[in-house]
Amino acid sequence: MSISVLIVDDEQLARDRLSRMLAQLPDYEVVGEASNGMEAVQATQEVQPDVVLLDIRMPGMDGMEAARHMSEMEEPPAVIFCTAFEEHAIEALNLQAVGYLLKPVRGQSLEVALGKAQRVNKAQLAALADAPEQRRTHISARTRRGIQLVAVTDVRFFQADQKYVTVRYSEGEIIIDETLRELEDEFGDAFLRVHRNALVAVRYIVGLDRSGDGHYQIRLRDVDEGVDISRRHVTQVRRYIKSL
């Protein structure tokens, strides 16, 4: 039985080269290609490859973020990063945690890496966490349809409810297993804390409302209901709105 491989690289020549090398190896079959992280996550769900050869530097969603989203899948693939980083940079990126190939990829190195390939797990992702990567461009949630991706720029607000967080965006909402603190640390300049259980996207802030009993809510563009503001955050929110 052949091992299925998905090739991900933003350069067609690089994808073609990997495809030709895989054709020379017994028991491996290329089942798809992708040119960026978004396409990679979508293709992984569609063709369910055993292994993903994943470029790191790509426009939009990079390989590091794509691997993180893949790890949330019910049956995540094995991942081998392909990188043009110099060897001395590999340790800083902690790529040994998952597996890597230096570009230009050599046939023998590819065969060895494929033999060692393993699925990305949480321990490996923790080892990659300190890598100098860009923050995520998308939020992912596991749904009945698989992994659903929502662009961070499309998120109106995050609202915590016990151990889960609701993500409101233009087409509805998803539930994620992350904390507001983690989200605030990662996207702090794009979101404003208005309550201990809520972060709102600054790009969608319209104004501030106050009810007769002194209760405050923040109004967001394209959102029907207001988001509650706690008393301790009112001054900070007012100051921010005045600065707009």
Question: Is residue 20 one of the residues assigned to a domain?
Answer: yes
Domain check: are 37 and 122 in the same one?
A: yes
Which CATH number fits the domain that encloses residue 45?
Answer: 3.40.50.2300
Residues 168 and 55 grouped into a single domain: no
Q: What is the rounded average pLDDT for all residues in the chain?
A: 88
Residues 158 and 119 in one domain: no
Q: Give the chain's domain count.
A: 2
Q: Has residue 146 been placed in a domain?
A: yes
pLDDT band at 122 (very low <50, low <70, confident <90, very high): low
d(CA 124, CA 19): 27
Q: How confident is the model at residue 127 (pLDDT cuts 50, 70, 90)?
A: low
Q: Above 60 in pLDDT, residue 223? A: yes
- Which residues on adjacent β-strands are paired with residue 146? 143
Q: For residues 127 and 228, what is the distance between their CA atoms, to the nearest angstrom? A: 37
Q: Are residues 10 and 98 in the same domain?
A: yes
User: Per the domain annotation, does 210 fall within a domain?
Assistant: yes
In the predicted structure, residue 136 carries a pLDDT above the cut 70: yes
* CB-based contact 227:201 (threshold 8 Å): no
232 and 176 within one domain: yes
What's the mean pLDDT in 87-91?
Answer: 54
For 179, phi then psi, to 5°, come to -105, 155
Q: In this predicted model, what pLDDT tens digit does every residue of 144-190 receive, in sequence order? A: 888 999 999 999 999 998 889 999 999 999 999 899 999 999 998 89
Nearest to 3 by CA among 26, 20, 21, 19: 26
Are 143 and 40 contained in the same domain? Answer: no
In a domain, 133, yes or no: no
Residue 164's domain comprises 138-243
Whether 108 and 37 map to the same domain: the answer is: yes
The answer to whether residues 147 and 223 belong to one domain is yes
Q: Are residues 145 and 222 in the same domain?
A: yes
Q: Can you give the pLDDT at residue 45?
A: 95
Q: Each residue of 112-121: pLDDT tens digit?
A: 889 888 666 6
Is the pLDDT confidence value at 194 over 60?
yes
Q: Confirm whether 110 is domain-assigned.
A: yes
Helix, strand, or coil (residue 136):
coil
Rounded to whole angstroms, the Cα distance separating 1 from 207 reads 60
Does 196 share its domain with 220?
A: yes
Q: Are residues 143 and 233 in the same domain?
A: yes
Cα separation, 80 vs 95, whole angstroms: 9
Calculate what percentage of the chain has a pLDDT beyond 70.
88
Question: Considering 128, 147, 178, which residue would you say is the last residue of a domain?
Answer: 128
Burial class (CB in 10 A: 0-12, 13-18, 19+), 4: middle
Cα separation values, 25 from 5, 14, 44, 106, Å: 12, 17, 22, 13
β-strands 216-220, 3-8 pairing: unpaired
Q: How many whole angstroms separate alpha carbon 119 and alpha carbon 51?
A: 8
pLDDT surpasses 90 at 67: no
Residue 132 amino acid letter: P
Q: Are residues 122 and 165 in the same domain?
A: no
**pLDDT score, position 165:** 96
Alpha carbon 52 to its chain centroid, in Å, reads 16
CA distances from 195 to 111, 208, 227 (A): 52, 14, 9
